[in-house]
Structure 1
Amino acid sequence: MSGATVIDAVRSGDADAVRRLLEAGANPESTDAQGVPALCLAIAAFDEPVASVLTEAGADPRRPLPDGTTPLLRAVDSGTVSVVLAVLPGPGEPLDESVRAELLARARHWHEAGVVPELRRRTGDRGTPRRIRVRDGGWWTDYDEITLGGLTVRDGHAAVLSCLEQWFGQRQSIDELLARALARPDPGHADWSESVDVLAGRNDEETWAAAAGLRSHPEPLHRLFAADVLRGIVRSEAMADTQPVVFEQRAPEIFVPWAAEETDPAVLRLVLRALSESDSPDPRVEAVALSYVAHPDPEVRREAASILR
């Protein structure tokens, strides 16, 4: 990429080239021929690695833009959690309360209005939107990427809202986060996974009890969400290496009887996976796994075999 500029490297999505150019003295606030900052080009491309490199090098996410927005607001508009986190100032650079309120209001508006109606309002286009499923590879979460009237965004604004609330120290109830997840009842989608991650990251008694209370809910999706949160709490505790261990020791107490009575295959798979990950010596874990080695669902059999291995 001899003779390339920061803008060239950003457009090619080459984070390493962007980093080398910046280390050689290139300006992180470089703009293209239309005056669009490099950081905004990265945001528009949903390119979290490039946006991170630019922000770390000094590109200002609060830079006022001619249309009255900022790169931060455009990141929220993008509907992509990883892009928002790439441009949010770190804990040592607190945002003004007014900026926080504006970001939260922006995310909430997209979430409540819906992506397609908001794109119609912004563009005036009444045509059929183009929708494709995309994977944010670094985060292992999915989005629908929606294009209408020349604008393209992703549909993770509920996830962005949950992320911002957590970042700004606002605690939503499990009922609210559950509602956001169930609005897109897809465990692979960012709206679901971000609700789970926010709750699991709390790693506290209140959240454990609230999630455990959903175990007997008549709707399988509620039980699936509960199992995902409880599993996440156990994993969060293990990753944090906290002492004494609290929730990992409780895993068999909730997941063994749950596995014995669960009838929905999707929920059962997750409950068995949680038992496998807990690596508990409790003999009841092996017994419940043995009871499912001949289950008609192959994924349930696979999770049972994982425990036995």
Structure 2
Amino acid sequence: MASPEHPLLAAVRNSDTTAVAALLQEEYGTPHARGPHAAAALRLAADALDHRILDALLKLAGPDALDLDGVDADGRTPLLRAVDRGAYDIATALHFAGADPRVTDREGRDALALARHWHTIGTGAGIYRRTVRDGDGEICRELVIGGRTVRDGHTAILTHLEWCCGIATPFAELLDRAMTEPEVDHPVWGATVVAAAGRKGLALPPVWDAAAALRHHPDPLARYFGADVLRCVNLYDESGEDEESPFDTPLVDLFLPWAEQEKDPRVMRPLTAGLAGAMDPRAEGPLPALTRYPDAQVRSWAVGGLHWQVQQADPEALAAVLACTRDTDAQVREGACRALLRARTDDPAPCDALAACLSDSEEAVRVTAAVQLALRDDHRGDALLDALDGTVDRTSPYYWPLQDVWRHRQNQ
């Protein structure tokens, strides 16, 4: 009779993050946690392309227990297997956790070489692409090559690894890589934008000029790329708090007239995000109106940029945020709840709006509203937070907000 499967492996197969977290917290530091089960669980989650389980393992077990660079029976590490399958989210999670991209497979290819191999094949003729949904319901692409199915993430992985290895892929090539994918939420867009905007020193001004020149491009995808690169250049600027960012004023100079003329809602997303993150006071002007823009992602970026104005008791900004607590999009409502944290304490409207969100149809909005109420010393959300006590672990998105509440209460 076969031995029963270890509970951790069974929990991974069932995609049960709660059970995985409980088992790892119970066994961390024991022979089980240091032995083969955690490493086997990692390989199982990576092979299943289960990002939620993989994330739980990486957060709770630690790299030593997981044996990130351990070679399986096929001669590949989990990172190499993820690269081979084009699973961008899995590959980058493993890489950021410490997996070594220099380890080679039996053919002598490291992660970069393997990604380049599949990128070359995937951009060739005769490749069938199809759209599917992954285990989290996210839209992704698959390639069917000679009967073999892989994720359509090899170009994004290649771009990520080139950037991490210090390879300066030309701006025009990065733009071409992005524009082969019509959906701007595909990971290749994020990877190419980061690779362009992450240049340093003398290599950065030519990137700024090339991105700014795309403002007048007839293809909205090219304009999207240019706007996103520009806002990320400003976002990644490493000037200290006491230094004025060299890109802040030029970005606002570009984005204000651009946003007034832009008709494509996709392009408006990075334009709004750039204005929301700029320190130039002029950038605040269009944000209240943008909270009423038809595209939900634009509204979400706009409300996220109103924190300072709400804190300064700007009546137009506060009215816009209060209205966003009733938005049709849950992400916008959640962002509005966060923006109300620093509103004036002598005005009852912010707390009343947060209290109304305690009955929201989305749990994330309800919890965020309860957290903000608690941080404002309003106890109307305490019952909701108390009900979460003992059910939230480090894998939960509520873990750190609840820690903020706990610290706030301890300091009272």
- The reply to whether TM is greater than 0.5 is yes
Identity rate, percent? 32
Give, in angstroms, the shift of residue 12 of structure 1. Answer: 3.4
TM-score, length-normalised on structure 1?
A: 0.72
**In the TM superposition, what whole-angstrom CA distance separates every residue of 1:177-206 from its partner, at most 9, and x where no partner exists?**
111111112111111122122323336333
3-state secondary structure, aligned to 1:144: strand
**Kept in 1: contact 2:156–2:188 (CA 8 A):** yes
**In the TM superposition, what whole-angstrom CA distance separates every residue of 1:84-106 from its partner, at most 9, and x where no partner exists?**
23333767x86648679521121
Partner residue of 2:42?
Answer: 39
Give distance in 1, aligned partners of 2:85 and 2:56. 15
Partner residue of 1:23?
Answer: 29
Change in Cα spacing, 1:38 to 1:276, as seen in structure 2 (3 Å) is closer
3-state secondary structure, aligned to 1:298: coil
Change in Cα spacing, 1:116 to 1:31, as seen in structure 2 (3 Å) is farther
Equivalences for residues 84-233 of structure 1 within 5 A = 84-88=91-95, 96=102, 102-114=110-122, 131-134=131-134, 142-144=139-141, 153-202=150-199, 204-233=204-233
Partner residue of 2:348?
Answer: none
Of residues 11, 22, 33 in structure 2, which corresponds to 1:9? 11
3-state secondary structure, aligned to 1:132: strand
3-state secondary structure, aligned to 2:216: coil
Change in Cα spacing, 1:29 to 1:95, as seen in structure 2 (3 Å) is farther
Give, in angstroms, the shift of residue 227 of structure 1. Answer: 0.7
TM-score, length-normalised on structure 2?
A: 0.56
**Kept in 2: contact 1:7–1:38 (CA 8 A):** yes
Partner residue of 1:82?
Answer: 89
Structure with bigger gyration radius: 2
Give distance in 1, aligned partners of 2:68 and 2:275. 43
Change in Cα spacing, 1:72 to 1:299, as seen in structure 2 (3 Å) is closer
Give distance in 2, aligned partners of 1:170 and 1:280. 33
Bigger RCO of structures 1 and 2 (CA < 8 A, at least 6 apart): 1
Gaps of 5+ in 1: 121-127
**Worse-matched range after superposition: 214-223 or 255-264:** 255-264
3-state secondary structure, aligned to 2:281: coil
**In the TM superposition, what whole-angstrom CA distance separates every residue of 1:1-48 from its partner, at most 9, and x where no partner exists?**
xx954322332343414533343221556269xxx9433212112233
**In the TM superposition, what whole-angstrom CA distance separates every residue of 1:207-239 from its partner, at most 9, and x where no partner exists?**
222211222222221111101111222233389
Partner residue of 2:236?
Answer: 236
Give distance in 2, aligned partners of 1:304 and 1:106. 37
RMSD: 4.3
Give distance in 1, aligned partners of 2:164 and 2:270. 28
Tell me which amino acid in the other structure corresponds to 1:299. D
Of residues 275, 284, 295 in structure 2, which corresponds to 1:299? 295
